[in-house]
Every structure is written in structure tokens, then in C-alpha cells.
């Protein structure tokens, strides 16, 4: 079966592409390369286009006889989405609308949508499950929630089999060349500071949590990729017709604990300049967001296999190599 992976040249997308090919699936990538890197997907057919370009999407679906889509292409920076909400609605919502229209016209049967824990906003529970009422607190999260509704509504009208996968905080690299080089996530942000011999920044240590810093559910990108393989197979074989599921580890790690792990793994813990400094809270950062993972375990038989040390060590290897220019 052939899958179109949108955003397949991105950090998570390239991991999904590699895992799906290793599992024996045919893959073609559609990516506008706005943040993606074609070097991550050498040897994989690539259509360079925006998902809002209906003609290119339709041609790609027909030329490659696509039967399933994994849709990862999106803008993902929370702060930017607050400044430029309409840009996020255009890229994430209008892009998805065009893609779904082309997909249903082309008879695509399965659709995996890259959603996010951002749909929950600031859940007031230890472990948030999929039945919690979604209350996104920024335009990025809203675009993901609207996207889930669009996929589900389309499925109701057409019979499209679908999975909305809500990723928690993705980190790590399954291979050094696939490492996350953007600095909008915590781990690369801390790496960048340490590279410059500057203290990493922690935003707020006065939250109602054990060490006062925010608590997140970090999940290895290799585990995210294997969840996509499991979802794609379940949809493709008709074992699952509709699923909304968290992808996390179900374990909370505080930002301060994560920074300490990074200092230890990078061998900088003894350096005085590596001690974190605390700055003011960022607007819209919820205190604690940790996944309940019961549903994905029950429906797909999937669970995360990698721990936080592996996430940091694998990212650091890729980061150091690209810093050294290799």
C-alpha cells in the first residue's frame, strides 16, 4: 500500500517515513520544504509543494496511486501562532481542508492526522485522557482541534478510516542525521545555550508542582514513528476505523529535571555557566500536561520504549555532529 506523508522532510515526518519504509510500506513525501530538509529522506520520492496546492496534491495522489495519507505538514510554534493566527489557520486548517478534499476525490481510504497535546490546553488532572474536554489556549492548539473535527466530519460523510494522534513533547533522534535542529523545543533550546556556554533558561519556577517548574510528558520520536506504523497498519487492514489517541509515555518530567539530565548527558553539569537561570513564566504554559496512554495501548497494542536519557543522548549525538559539520 502506498502512503503519502505530508511534512515528511521534517523532524518527525522523516522518522515516520523511515519507520514506514522499514515496515515495508511504499512512501511518497509531499513537503514545501519551509522547515524541512530533503537530505533527511534521500531516495524517497518527493513532491515539493504546499498542501494547499490542490493541483499538486491531486497529481501526487494519482501519480503514485496513494491509498493512505499521514498528514504531518503544519506550522507548530505556539508563540508564532499567537502573533500570526491567520497564518496558522491558513497553513494548518486551510491546508488540511484542501488535502481532505483532494483525498476524498481520489478515493484515499486511510488518514492519519498529526494532532497535539496542545488541544487540551491546561488540563487539571494528573493524566489527561482523550475524553477530557479539549480547551486549547493558543491558536496553534485550536488549529489542531479544528483539524481533528474536520477529519472526523469528513470520515462520517465518506467512510474515511482515520486516526487523530495527539503527540505530547517529542524529543530524541532515531539516527543522528534525523535530529531536531529547530530550537523551538526544550531539548534543542538547552543544547544551543550550552554550545554558547550560556546558562539554559527556565521559564517560571513558581508553578504548583514539586520543584515549581512545568511538568511535561517527553516521548522519543522513534516511539512516535512506531505508533504511526501501528496506526497505519490498523487503518490499512480495516482493523480500526476511527481512533483519537494520545502518544506519550504517561510519565511526567519537570523542566528542571530535564535540564539537569541534559547537563549530565552533555558532560557540562560541573560547569558553572551551565546552571539554569529562571526567567518569568511564558504566557500560556500550563503547569502539568501528562498523557494517559491506556487507549493507544488497548487499541494498537503500542507503548513507548525509550526513556528520557536516551532521548537526550540521541539528540545530543546528532546535534554535536551537525555542529561539527559532519
User: Hey, what's the cell of 7?
Assistant: 511534512
- Rg of the chain taking only CA atoms, in angstroms: 19
User: What would the grid cell of residue 32 be?
Assistant: 514545501
Could you say which of 11, 88, 120, 140 is catalytic?
140
Number of Cβ within 10 Å of residue 267's Cβ equals 11
Cα angle value 144/67/161 (rounded, 5°): 50
**Nearer Cβ to ligand NAD (73/229):** 73
Contact residue for ligand NAD among 11, 111, 191, 319 (CB under 6 A): 11
Q: x/- site string to ligand NAD, residues 85 to 124, per CB under 6 A?
A: ------x---x------------------x-x--------
Q: Does 141 bind ligand NAD (CB under 6 A)?
A: no
Q: 56: which 3 cell numbers?
A: 499538486
Closest to 128 (Cα-Cα) out of 252, 232, 4: 252
Q: Which of 47, 66, 72, 174 binds ligand NAD (CB under 6 A)?
A: 72
Using CB under 6 A, which of 4, 9, 70, 102 touches ligand NAD? 9
| Cβ pair 51, 101 in contact under 8 A | no
Residue among 185 and 209 whose Cβ is closer to ligand NAD: 185
Site string for ligand NAD, 275-314 (x = CB under 6 A): ----------------------------------------
Beta bridge mates, 165: 114, 245
Query: Contact with ligand NAD (CB under 6 A): which of 76, 161, 233, 263?
Result: 76
Q: Is 237 in the site for ligand NAD (CB under 6 A)?
A: no
Phi-psi group of 141: left, alpha or beta (phi > 0 → left; psi -120 to 50 → alpha; rest → beta): alpha
Per CB under 6 A, does 74 bind ligand NAD? yes
Question: What does the per-residue mask of binding to ligand NAD show for 183-222, with x meaning CB under 6 A?
Answer: --x-------------------------------------
CB 74 within 8 A of CB 148: no
Write the interaction track for ligand NAD spanning residues 170-189; mark x where CB under 6 A is met and - where it is not.
Answer: x--------------x----
At 70, which helix (H) or strand (E)?
strand 68-71
Is 140 catalytic? The answer is yes
Region at 250 (left for phi over 0; alpha for psi -120 to 50; beta for the rest):
left
- Write down the H helix ranges in 107-254: 139-158, 186-195, 221-236
Considering only the stretches 33-41, 104-112, 119-127, 304-312, report the one whose residues sit in contact with ligand NAD under the rule CB under 6 A.
33-41
Alpha-carbon gap, residue 93 to 44, rounded angstroms: 27
The residues carrying an active-site annotation are: 140
Residue numbers at the binding site for ligand NAD (CB under 6 A): 6-7, 9-13, 31-36, 50-51, 72-76, 91, 95, 114, 116, 167, 169-170, 185
Amino acid at each position: 500500500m502506498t502512503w503519502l506523508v505530508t511534512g515528511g522532510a521534517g523532524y518527525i515526518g522523516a522518522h515516520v517515513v523511515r519507520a514506514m519504509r522499514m515496515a515495508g510500506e511504499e512512501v511518497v513525501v509531499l513537503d514545501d520544504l519551509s522547515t524541512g530538509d530533503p537530505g533527511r529522506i534521500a531516495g524517497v520520492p518527493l513532491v515539493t509543494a504546499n498542501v494547499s496546492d490542490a493541483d499538486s496534491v491531486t497529481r501526487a495522489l494519482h501519480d503514485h496511486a496513494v491509498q493512505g495519507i499521514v498528514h504531518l505538514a503544519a506550522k507548530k510554534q505556539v508563540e508564532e501562532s499567537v502573533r500570526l493566527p491567520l497564518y496558522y489557520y491558513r497553513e494548518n486548517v486551510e491546508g488540511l481542508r484542501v488535502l481532505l478534499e483532494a483525498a476524498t476525490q481520489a478515493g484515499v481510504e486511510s488518514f492519519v492526522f498529526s494532532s497535539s497535546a496542545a488541544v487540551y490546553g491546561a488540563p487539571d488532572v494528573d493524566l489527561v485522557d482523550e475524553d477530557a474536554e479539549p480547551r486549547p489556549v493558543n491558536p496553534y492548539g485550536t488549529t489542531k482541534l479544528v483539524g481533528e473535527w474536520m477529519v472526523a466530519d469528513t470520515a462520517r460523510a465518506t467512510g474515511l478510516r482515520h486516526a487523530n494522534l495527539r503527540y505530547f513533547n517529542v524529543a530524541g533522534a532515531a539516527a543522528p542525521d534525523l535530529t531536531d535542529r529547530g530550537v523551538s523545543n526544550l531539548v534543542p533550546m538547552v543544547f544551543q545555550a550550552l554550545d554558547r556556554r550560556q546558562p539554559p533558561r527556565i521559564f517560571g519556577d513558581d508553578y504548583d508542582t514539586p520543584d515549581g517548574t512545568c511538568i511535561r510528558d517527553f516521548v522519543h520520536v522513534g516511539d512516535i514513528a512506531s505508533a504511526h506504523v501501528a496506526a497505519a497498519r490498523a487503518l490499512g487492514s480495516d482493523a480500526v476505523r476511527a481512533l483519537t489517541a494520545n502518544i506519550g509515555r504517561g510519565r511526567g518530567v519537570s523542566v528542571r529535571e530535564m535540564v539537569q539530565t541534559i547537563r549530565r548527558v552533555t558532560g557540562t553539569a560541573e560547569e558553572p555557566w551551565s546552571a539554569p537561570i529562571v526567567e518569568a513564566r511564558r504566557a500560556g504554559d500550563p503547569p502539568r500536561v501528562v498523557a494517559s496512554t491506556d487507549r493507544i495501548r488497548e487499541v494498537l497494542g503500542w507503548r513507548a520504549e525509550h526513556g528520557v536519557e536516551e532521548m537526550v543522548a540521541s539528540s545530543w549525538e546528532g546535534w554535536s555532529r551537525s555542529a561539527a559539520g559532519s
